[in-house]
Each structure stands twice: as C-alpha cells, then as structure tokens.
C-alpha cells in the first residue's frame, strides 16, 4: 500500500461505507470540480495532488474488490488509532495520577514540617517559661535570705542582751565594727553570686 492509501477516502469524498454508487458518483463530481487545477490556479500543485487523490479514491470505492481491500485496511487503521487514543488517555490519566500523588506527598511533607515547627516552638516556649520561673524563684529566695539576714543584724543590734557601750567600758568597739562589716560583706557576696548565676543562665 502506498502512502496515499492511508488517506481516508470516505472523508475525502464526504461519503460513508454504505453509500450507493449514485451517491459516490455525485460526491466525486463535486470533489473533482472543487480540486480541479483549472479552478485553483493560485495553488496548482496542491490542487493537482488533491485532484489525483480524489480520482484514486473514486476508483477504489466503486470497485467492490478494491473497496473490500481498502475497507479492511481502513478499519484496521481506525481500530489502531482508537487503541492508541485509549492508550494515550490512559497515559494521561497515569501522568495526572502521578502528579497528584507528588502534590499530595509535597503537601504531606509540608504539613509534617509545619507540625514539627509548631512542636519546636512550643518546646522553646515551655523551656523559656521554666527558666523564667526558676529565675524568679531564685530571686525570691535571695530576697528572703537577705531579709532574714537584715532582720538578724537588727535584732542583734537592739537586743537587751547586748549592753550599751557606755555600760561596758571594756567593750571592744573594733570587734563590733568588724562583725558588722563581715555581715555586709556576706550580703554583698550573696547578691554578687546571684548576679553571676543569672549571667551564666542568660
């Protein structure tokens, strides 16, 4: 079979499988006039090729033997074309399914990442809150300790068991000043230690 026999003769003449000889004759005359080179002087070459194809289509379809041979091949080509189109549709469906699967996978990955980010942020928030509470508790305990220390110093200074200086001529004023200074140093060291701990935590 030559390449021009792959052309749909029925479409070229605008007829069907079951059309009569009379209908085919009329269709041929219309097509021959339409594609006659004398009617298409602006494109003679293409018109000539079309005219020859129309003539060959007509000669094939009016000959029962040639028509049967052509119809067998023509129907086989149509069936093959339909199978290809069905396969192409299936490939398109598979491609769309694959793309949809990739889209879902990306979305799932994004969702997991978002959940992990939320969990991480929540952990950081809880850790920050915990450190803040621990810091506040240390400051509270330090304030209590400082308050107790100040109260103890005041009580010792105003206690009736502590004799006024003028009542005890032998009272060592230097020892008393040393004690007070030591207490003040202890308070200062405590405050410095608290600041250093806070600095290390930060």
Which pLDDT tens digit goes with each residue over 21-54?
Answer: 999 999 999 999 999 988 888 888 998 999 999 9
C-alpha 68/C-alpha 73 separation (Å) is 9
pTM of the model: 0.41
**Mean pLDDT calculated for residue range 74-90:** 87
Torsion over CA: 80, 84, 89, 93 (sign): positive
Question: In the structure, what pLDDT confidence band is assigned to residue 124 with cuts at 50, 70 and 90?
Answer: confident
Cβ atoms < 10 Å from Cβ of 199: 8
Q: Which one-letter DSSP state was computed for residue 172?
A: -
Q: Largest Cα–Cα distance of the chain, in whole Å?
A: 155
Which pLDDT tens digit goes with each residue over 88-104?
Answer: 777 877 788 888 888 88
pLDDT at 1: 41
- Is CATH 1.10.287.110 the right assignment for the domain spanning 3-97? yes
On whether the CB atoms of residues 47 and 36 are closer than 8 A, the answer is yes
Name the residue among 27, 83, 89 with its Cα closest to residue 55: 27
């Amino acid at each position: 079979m030559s390449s021009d026999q792959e052309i749909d003769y029925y479409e070229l003449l605008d007829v069907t499988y079951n059309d009569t000889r009379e209908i085919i004759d009329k269709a041929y005359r219309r097509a021959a006039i339409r594609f006659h080179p004398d009617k298409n002087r602006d494109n003679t070459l293409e018109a000539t090729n079309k005219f020859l194809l129309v003539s060959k289509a007509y000669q094939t379809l009016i000959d029962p033997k040639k028509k049967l041979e052509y119809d067998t091949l023509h129907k086989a080509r149509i069936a093959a074309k339909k199978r290809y189109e069905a396969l192409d549709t299936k490939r398109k469906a598979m491609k769309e399914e694959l793309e949809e699967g990739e889209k879902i996978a990306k979305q799932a990955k994004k969702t997991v990442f978002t959940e992990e980010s939320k969990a991480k942020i929540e952990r950081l928030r809880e850790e920050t809150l915990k450190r803040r509470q621990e810091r506040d508790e240390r400051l509270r305990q330090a304030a209590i300790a400082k308050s107790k220390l100040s109260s103890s110093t005041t009580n010792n200074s105003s206690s009736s068991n502590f004799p006024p200086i003028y009542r005890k001529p032998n009272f060592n004023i230097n020892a008393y000043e040393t004690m007070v200074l030591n207490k003040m140093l202890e308070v200062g060291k405590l405050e410095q230690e608290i600041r250093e701990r806070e600095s290390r935590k930060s």
